[in-house]
Structures are given as C-alpha cells and as structure tokens.
C-alpha cells in the first residue's frame, strides 16, 4: 500500500468513526455538505462537535456549513483539516481569522510491525457486550476525559446506546482490576481497516500501562477480524504511548476554531 492509499483509508476510517459516535450519541446528528462531514450534539464540546474536511472546500463554504449546523444553535465546534491534503485551506482559514488550537497526530500500526505483549497480570480485559458494560464504559471514559476539561455529562452522552460499544463494526474493551474498570478503548471497523478510539484510563491508575494494555486488546481484535492495519488520532497524553507501541505518524489533523 502506498502512502496516498494509506492516508485515504485513514481519513475514511476516521470520518466513519466519528459518524458512528454521533449516531450513538443522545440527540447526535451527522450532516454532510460542501466537502464536510459535520457531527453535532447538544452537549458536544469544541472537540467532539466537528466539521471534518473530506474533499477540497473553500473558506466561505466552511463558514456557511458551520453556521447552519453549529453557530445558529450556539454550539461549540472546531473544523478539522488534513495536513496531507488541505494546506491551502489551512492558510485561507488563518487569513480569515480562524485560529488553530491543536494538531492531533494521525497514527498507524500494521500487523507486521508489532508483536502485542501480554497484559499486566492484575488486569482482566474483556469486551463490552451489554448495557451494564456500556454504562461502566461511559462512567470510566467520563472520568478519564475530565483531565482534558470535558464535562462528564458531555462524554457520557456519547454512550447513550449499546451500539456505541458493541455492533458489527464497533467493539469496546474494558480493563478490570479488582472488580472495577480502570481503562478502556474501542475498535471501529470500516473501509477494510480498523480505528482505535476513546482510549482512556482512570487518573489514579496512570503510569501502570493499563491504557497500553487495553489498546493492545483492540489491536489484537482488529487483526483477528482480518484488518491489515489500525489507525488513531492521538491525544497529547496518548501520543508518546502509541509511539512506544510502534505506531508511526504519517499525518496530522489540525483543529481550527472560528473568531467570535
């Protein structure tokens, strides 16, 4: 697979992952228009309400689409561009007064590039299959993402339905220690590859390798289902962990917010 094919698949899997998250979110919606995939929910944040650029688009179209979906409803949002495809738009956004707030690494790992190690002996890692597991995953993830300033109710809203954690193309895993969940991650399958999302660890369990272990569980599941590679969009805390696991970084996704 050449680099262009790889990046195309990474983009397509990312778009579908966030569509799936929006569909499983309470009052979530997906709107596609003008080269953008827009995902919105009433409790979404500037990170989880997004307009992802999927093909060439100009600044005026971005402004019109985001006004229609987000601004008229006073919802926070960001525009996600692709470093490998949207350099001109990124420059135009900056000139038009949009502000880049972060660049998240688009990372990937192939079957031949890794040898998943065993999980820590004290962990019991198992798939989430029912509503009790869904609720446990929602609570765990809300605690984990609060370190980034995400309100608990916002994060929990993304797990309103069972398909948020278990469906033909989605499978969550929880790592349990002494009867309580301490880390989680979700596999998202589309376009012949896998995506890794919602990786989180309880703050009091940081530094023990639990997030790494549950991410490896997702990687193993993806390979068991026949995908040749998995990709993810790394958080600032997650990026060094994924690098140590063997993930490489073919691209970045840049997040822009509109001026007031």
Give the global pTM: 0.96
Residue 103's pLDDT is 96
- Give residues with Cβ within 8 angstroms of 4, minimum separation 6: none
DSSP 8-state symbol, 236: T
8 Å CB contact between 171 and 127: yes
8 Å CB contact between 114 and 219: yes
Q: Provide the domain limits for residue 85.
A: 3-104+253-257
Residue 260's pLDDT is 67
Helix (H/G/I), strand (E/B), else coil: 185: strand
Q: Residue 114: which of 9, 172, 7, 194 has the closest Cα?
A: 194
8 Å CB contact between 69 and 51: yes
Q: What is the CATH number of the domain that holds 218?
A: 3.40.630.30
**pLDDT less than 50: residues of the chain:** none
Give residue-wise pLDDT tens across range 109-161.
Answer: 999 888 888 999 999 999 999 999 999 999 999 999 999 999 999 999 999 99
Shared domain check, 29 and 50: yes
| Residue 253 to residue 84: CA distance in whole angstroms | 9
8 Å CB contact between 196 and 231: yes
Shared domain check, 162 and 233: yes
8 Å CB contact between 107 and 234: yes
Shared domain check, 146 and 87: no
Shared domain check, 197 and 130: yes
8 Å CB contact between 36 and 78: no
Domain count, the chain: 2
Question: Which secondary structure element, helix H or strand E, spans residue 249, and what is its range?
Answer: strand 248-257
First to last CA, the chain: 43
């Amino acid at each position: 697979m050449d680099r262009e094919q790889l990046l195309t698949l990474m983009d397509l899997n990312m778009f579908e992952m966030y569509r799936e998250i929006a569909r499983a979110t309470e009052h979530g919606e997906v709107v596609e228009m003008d080269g953008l995939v827009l995902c919105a929910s009433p409790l979404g944040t500037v990170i989880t309400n997004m307009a992802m650029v999927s093909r060439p688009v100009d600044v005026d179209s971005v402004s019109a689409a985001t006004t229609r979906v987000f601004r008229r409803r006073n919802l926070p949002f960001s525009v996600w561009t692709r470093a490998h495809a949207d350099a001109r738009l990124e420059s135009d956004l900056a000139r038009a007064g949009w502000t880049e707030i972060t660049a998240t690494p688009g990372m990937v790992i192939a079957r031949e590039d890794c040898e998943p190690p065993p999980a820590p002996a004290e962990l019991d890692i198992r798939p989430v299959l029912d509503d009790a597991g869904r609720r446990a995953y929602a609570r765990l993830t809300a605690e984990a993402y609060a370190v980034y300033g995400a309100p608990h109710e916002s994060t929990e809203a993304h797990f309103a339905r069972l398909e948020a954690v278990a469906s033909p193309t989605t499978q969550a895993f929880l790592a349990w220690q002494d009867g309580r969940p301490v880390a989680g991650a979700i596999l998202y399958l589309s376009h012949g590859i896998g995506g890794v999302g919602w990786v989180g660890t309880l703050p009091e369990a940081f530094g023990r390798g639990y997030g790494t272990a549950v991410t490896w569980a997702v990687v193993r599941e993806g390979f068991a289902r026949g995908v040749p590679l998995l990709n993810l969009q790394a958080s600032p805390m997650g990026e060094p962990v994924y690098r140590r696991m063997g993930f490489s970084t073919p691209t970045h996704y840049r997040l822009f917010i509109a001026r007031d």
